[in-house]
Amino acid sequence: MLHNLPLSSVQPQSFDPFGGMTALFIIVPIAIAIVVIFFVMRMTRGLSAGSIKNGVTAQGTILRTWDTGTTINDNPVVGFALNVTPTTEPAFQVEMKQIVSRIQIGAFLPGAQVQVMYDPNDHKKVKIQSVLGMPGMASAPGAVPSANAQQVEQMLLAKEQTYNAVRSMGEAAQATILTATDMNIRINETGSIMQFRLEVHPTNKPVFQAETQGAISDGSRAKYLPGQSIWVKFNPNDLTQVALDHS
């Protein structure tokens, strides 16, 4: 009978209010966190110059840049189109992505000369090691160049000439801002040069995407955030030429 059963042999029954699912509630979040950490570390390694083993250094030129919309530790991942000129083989062009410090992004302008490391067996593997400066501009050995006033002025004047031609002869269209990147280049302490990736909606052509840049005053920045609609002018014969229409 029950009263003859020793108390030491009576084992308490455990109670799981989740019906045996408690272990899953603990294991699944841990597994997800491990997977996320793995992919973030893998992405970071893939975007670092040290990921190229047995690489060869060469000089190159930045042909084009674009905002990928990704940031790592508050630093943007920037897309680059490069023309690489090795000393022992023919020049080649490549597109790649790399983390760029926000305080140095102004140095990574189209036309800038860079030192890169590339895999001679796979030209798709290229990483920028340093910015050497703009053509014809001397750079102090070992210095980390930023866009000085003369470099910025030359680059802006060249681009503004193209943009003015587009504004005067191009077709008007509305565009949606996909990404907006502050290039950390101040203009008269009242505004900044910003780079934009746009989705352009012409009235008689298919929708297309393009990149442009412009000087945006501090008081107008809210009008140039991702998702905002703006007016632009574009060259119908070259859809890569798009200018902000400030009129």
What residue spans define the domains of the chain? 54-146, 151-244
Backbone CA torsion sign across 60, 61, 67, 68: negative
C-alpha closest to that of 153 among 183, 181, 185: 185
Q: Do domains 54-146 and 151-244 have the same CATH topology?
A: yes
CA distances from 173 to 18, 200, 215, 233, 245 (A): 58, 7, 19, 6, 9
Tens-level pLDDT at each residue, the chain (247 residues): 444 445 444 455 555 555 555 665 566 667 665 654 544 444 444 444 456 778 899 999 898 888 887 888 878 888 899 999 998 899 999 999 998 887 777 778 888 888 999 999 999 999 998 887 655 444 444 444 444 455 555 666 667 788 888 999 999 999 999 988 887 777 777 888 888 889 999 998 999 998 888 888 889 989 999 999 999 999 999 898 999 987 5
Q: Are 92 and 121 in contact (CB under 8 A)?
A: no
What letter would DSSP give residue 149?
H
Question: pTM score, two decimals?
Answer: 0.48
Under the phi-then-psi rule, with left for phi > 0, alpha for psi from -120 to 50, and beta for the rest, what region is 20?
A: left
59-87: b (≥16 Cβ within 10 Å) or e: ebbbeebbbeeeeeeeebbbbbebebebe
Find out whether 136 and 155 touch, Cβ atoms under 8 Å.
no
Cα gap 221→211, rounded to integer Å = 17
Are 151 and 136 spatial neighbours (Cβ–Cβ below 8 Å)? no
Look up the CATH architecture of domain 54-146: Beta Barrel (2.40)
| Neighbour count for residue 173 (Cβ, 10 Å) | 22
Domain at 151-244: CATH architecture: Beta Barrel (2.40)
